[in-house]
């Protein structure tokens, strides 16, 4: 997996080749939002504002006919347990394995990871839908939640409303520690890591650690992950990006031979 310093700068052509045109009003894509636990209602509102048809996913039948899936923020362990006890985990895994677009925010990002550090006793169930390593509660407990500017990498700025910075709401947030091949860092945040007791992390010599640049968002061809909660900020650009990814995936599936354009 690559560190931030090793990441290549993509050209605008590389990025646009993945997504094609942006979302249009009256989009025919149907996006489900997993509604077992967590902040799903706000996602539905923003997706509909972007022209997508959005609906809650609570049962296996709700996966029928959806073109993309949002796994919202909440509590990753609780979400995985509820999914397992209700028989939903296998259906979520099947959808992820189908390679249709999936967006994980906060807890959803943890669930999509291939590896997670800082898990509770007994481990953390993972869908392994994107080659990333994450750390649960990297920034501390609930009382250390914060808002900070998320810095968008240059090659992604035009697709995210032209902004170099966007608001980020971090609620007992995870961090993205590393990314694998085929995964691009979209945005970073400057913040301090805290240990489980809320104290600022200490360096090797016992001094308080300085703020560090931490990956806050990344994407693969059909995956988007954000450590923060875009649905709680006054901007729908992240939802517009995901709708674009879903529409590109649909266009690819409909192309001769099923060649994807995403």
pLDDT tens per residue, range 148-157? 899 999 999 9
Count Cα atoms within 13 angstroms, Cβ side, for 235.
16
176-197 confidence digits (pLDDT tens) = 999 999 999 999 998 776 554 3
Average pLDDT over residues 122-134: 90
Q: Tell me which of 29, 42, 43, 106 is the catalytic residue.
A: 106
What's this model's pTM, rounded to 2 decimal places?
0.82
* For residue 200, pLDDT beyond 60: no
Q: What is the pLDDT of residues 70-91, one digit of tens each?
A: 999 888 888 898 999 999 999 9
pLDDT computed for residue 26 by the predictor: 53
Q: What share of the chain has pLDDT > 70, as a percent?
A: 76
Residue 261's pLDDT band (boundaries 50, 70, 90)?
very low
What pLDDT, on the 0 to 100 scale, is given for residue 210?
54
Check if 231 is active-site.
yes
Which one of 43, 135, 229, 239 is the catalytic residue? 229
Catalytic residue among 42, 155, 231, 240: 231
CB 92 within 8 A of CB 79: no
Quick one: what percent of the chain has pLDDT higher than 90? 60
- 96 Cβ partners below 8 Å, 6+ apart? 69, 102, 112, 127, 129
Look at 239 and 9; give whichever has higher pLDDT. 239
């Amino acid at each position: 997996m690559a560190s931030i310093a090793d990441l290549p700068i993509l050209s605008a052509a590389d990025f646009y080749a993945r997504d094609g045109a942006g979302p249009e009003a009256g989009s025919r894509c149907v996006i489900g939002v997993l509604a077992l636990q967590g902040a799903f209602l706000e996602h539905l509102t923003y997706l509909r504002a972007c022209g997508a048809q959005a609906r809650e996913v609570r049962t296996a039948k709700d996966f029928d006919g959806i073109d993309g899936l949002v796994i919202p923020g909440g509590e990753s362990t609780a979400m995985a347990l509820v999914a397992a006890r209700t028989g939903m985990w296998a259906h979520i895994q099947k959808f992820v394995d189908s390679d249709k677009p999936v967006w994980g925010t906060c807890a959803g990002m943890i669930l999509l990871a291939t590896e997670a550090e800082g898990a509770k006793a007994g481990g953390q169930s993972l869908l392994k839908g994107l080659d990333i390593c994450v750390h649960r509660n990297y920034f501390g407990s609930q009382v250390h939640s914060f808002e900070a500017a998320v810095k968008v990498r240059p090659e992604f700025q035009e697709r995210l409303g032209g902004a170099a910075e966007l608001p980020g709401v971090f609620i007992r947030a995870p961090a993205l520690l590393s990314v694998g091949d085929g995964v691009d860092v979209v945005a970073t945040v400057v913040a301090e890591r805290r240990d489980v007791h809320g104290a600022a992390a200490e360096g090797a010599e016992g001094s308080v650690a300085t703020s560090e640049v931490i990956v806050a968002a990344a994407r693969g061809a059909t995956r988007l992950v954000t450590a923060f909660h875009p649905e709680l900020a006054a901007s729908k650009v992240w939802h517009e990006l995901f709708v674009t990814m879903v529409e590109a995936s649909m266009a690819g599936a409909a192309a001769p031979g099923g060649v994807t354009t995403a």
